[in-house]
Structure 1
Amino acid sequence: MAKLGVFVLVLSFLIYMADMASSASTRTSSPTDYIVASCKATRYPALCVQCLSGYAKAIRKNDQHLAQTALSVSLSRAKSAAAYVAKMTQVRGIKTRERQAVKDCIENMGDSVDRLSQSVKELGHMGRAVGQDFMFHMSNVQTWVSAALTDENSCLDGFAGRVMDGSIKVAVRRRVVHVAQVTSNALALVNRFAARHS
């Protein structure tokens, strides 16, 4: 009986030490390591790390802060791209078809900015929502971010075909593809947050 008591005591001690080692490794890993690990869930992990590593201290290894920051970065990039695309209508020598594609893109990017703004606010107001309330808010965020990504891709659709090839298409595509990749990453991190906390 004494041997069994010693065995249980030793086993308990070993489990305790393993738990402490696990906790210590979690504490010693840096906020940047957390971002690198989290970004593996995205389609563009290197871009994800590049966009978010500057916010490591604000994110503080928190899934909601990570998703919120990713959405805020996406919103900022979408606003910048929308402003850039709006200037394309003033380019000299722009063809009628290009001008129409640019105008459609401006509308799409405006919709994307609106939806990303809604998602940032919704996620920010969630607080400690749980259960059905959590799922309701998360569903709204996921829907809006998905729609924003669709808007960004719709902008590019307007420049499809060789007839649209030229400097306007190249300039718009470079900006909007970047935003779409950042938004795709944000959606992946939102989905990760939802899955881990639902």
Structure 2
Amino acid sequence: MARSSLILLFLSLVYIGSEATSPVAASNFIKASCSGTKYPALCIQSLAAFAPSIQQSPRQLAETALWVSLDRARDTQAFVSKMKKFRGLKKREYEAIQDCAEEMSEGVDRLSKSVQELKHMGGAKGQDFLWHISNVETWASAALTDENTCFDGFAGKGMDGKIKASIRARVINVAQVTSNALSLVNQFASKQ
């Protein structure tokens, strides 16, 4: 929850320093941008609250989407790590949870790098811009792979149950949000 507050504070500061756009225009910008993602309804739902700070900036939209993805990945990583302490786990369940926790940790690291790279690339142009944006795209794509790989260990009939279902729901949400963020980064890159 503290991370969400930090994200909101960060985005509020960006909003204060930018020219205000009407709330309707900012909302329409998010909707139009999200229409090009794989999960548009989730994209709009996860970014709508940040419309005042996003305004109509493709860069701010991409950065916010990465922040949202990072925040959800951190929450999911913590949830999966707590599941390792669940009593009565079978050896195979514990191993799957352990592997998933490691994949989520790597995903968090890569999303964090993506956020920082986009945030600190400044007004890079030309080849510098392409280099920075390539890093952002590579790390976000690798995080998406980590998230999808996280759930591989839960395949098979012996892995059915509440633990699998609860982890699956969270991992799928993170993967979908990350997919949307990567799409918005790609949109930003194409407009430069």
User: Could you tell me how far apart the structure 1 residues matched to 2:177 and 2:24 are?
Assistant: 25
Contact 2:46 2:68 survives alignment (8 Å): yes
How many residues end up aligned between the 2 structures?
172
In structure 2, the residue matched to 1:180 is 175
1:154 maps to which of 149, 157, 168: 149
Q: How far apart, in 2, do the equivalents of 1:27 and 1:108 lie?
A: 40
CA distance in 1, matches of 2:23, 2:75: 37
Superposed counterparts of 1:19-30, under 5 Å: 30=25
User: Which letter does structure 2 place at the counterpart of 1:134?
Assistant: F
Q: Describe the superposition over 1:80-131 as per-residue Cα deviations: whole angstroms up to 9, x where unpaired.
A: 0000000111111111000000000000000000000000000001111100
Structure 2 alignment gaps of length 5 or more: 1-20
**Cα distance in 1, alignment partners of residues 90 and 148 from structure 2:** 22
Distance 1:163 1:117 in 2: 34
TM-score (norm 2): 0.87
Structure 2 counterpart of 1:10: none
RMSD value over aligned CA atoms?
A: 1.3
Shifted more, 158-167 versus 141-150: the winner is 158-167
Ranges in structure 1 where 5+ consecutive residues have no aligned partner? 1-25
* Separation (CA, whole Å) in 1 of partners of 2:159 and 2:68: 30
Letter in 2 for 1:162: K
CA distance in 1, matches of 2:120, 2:23: 30
Correspondence for 1:40: 35
Residue of 118, 128, 138 corresponding to 1:143: 138
Q: Does 1:84 align with 2:79?
A: yes
TM-score, normalised to structure 1, is 0.85
Secondary structure in 1 matching 2:191 = helix
Percent identical residues: 57
